[in-house]
Structure 1
């Protein structure tokens, strides 16, 4: 059972937009040294929507190789096409990853029955453990707790990343799901409260820039030490908030570059680097959170 601070890892690129594998290797080492619980490779923060399938697979394979068994790796394997998600799941089966993170299909707005059939088909196509990912603010579809409960009956669907930021949703999920079904927050701003109210961890954007602090916050929250957890949460709140001034991962890539964790903040089009008007705000958030002097 993976609990605590799981990083939704950025995918570093060179000035031409090609994958910077040396920087990727250094990021993996950085998170191992920081005691991050696990790495999500090529989730949506890793620009899964704009990487080719070939690049997607290469990045996951390299992260597994760089990790060398020292930290669990979860691979983004979602798509708005069920057949594509199945193909990725099959590719990653027996690759050494701990699970696949499977975002709800975006743009085509399936019904709840469509979501159920989508995930059922993926899970039944392979033995890879699957973590559902619900982020209606990005996908225009909300997977309801009743649908999650139906899917939880499928043996290799083991958890959900719930990114609504709605703590009432957590209560609904807990009432419907078995105790061993993993509940991860996908919203840094409410992640601490999510864990204090019974969640198992956070799949985090902020962990890219504050891994040590996020590990500590999650440890305290999972132990029920609310005062200590909330103190760290308050320290990081400016970062939680301002890393979403523009569409993720635009601000977090800029922040990683500002902290010297990656050489630059290049993204693949149609995403562009953080607007100049927001750069000072993100920089000040890093300073306020004591991540940058």
Structure 2
């Protein structure tokens, strides 16, 4: 295991970045619709905006084709008062073998009063030898709503790959009105396949997803979501307005087969088209 001190030391002498990208965007209300208020893309990060609904949907694209040691990706997005903003990705993201250094992805999202944010990136696929550090912080106003999913695939089962060497440090923080609401962290290094195979971790599984739903009506979805999950999934009502789902699966195909009905239910059948391709 790598200590925090070692991580800080490596940051003092970073490797030359292979790709750097930044995406900054915000949404506002205009004539009863959620529309783009501000946008800035730089480096490897781009965004597309499908039309045809009252919500604003942004498809995030990393034009570098994946992540490897030294890469830096930053995303900042704000859903203004009363807006509905959906953020997704064009396809699954890939964390490739890192010769040295870490790939770092830092995401900060703000959801203002009476706004809704759907954070719906597709899978992050970890390749053998990858090294990924991700942070996701979401700040909710008192009356804001959120649907968040973070799926991860540990290796490429279809390619016969065993993830016997990889590193991932992943942290999710959700705050509401300046107070902590939900914190989750994952820290795995070395032979990830062997670690996941432990009986108390994820035996027989190489894919996982975390879902968080924050809204006044979450309790009405509890029984339905529970019925949709396989034996390797679970759902809990952590607060009267906070639903949390953790799902394990053998591979990416099985993960999607279980995850899509859950996301359809919680999103009100408004899952982005890119999830269907």
TM-score norm. by structure 2 comes to: 0.30
Structure ranking higher in helix proportion: 1
TM-score norm. by structure 1 comes to: 0.29
Structure ranking higher in strand proportion: 2
The structure showing larger relative contact order (alpha-carbon pairs under 8 Å, at least 6 residues apart) is 1
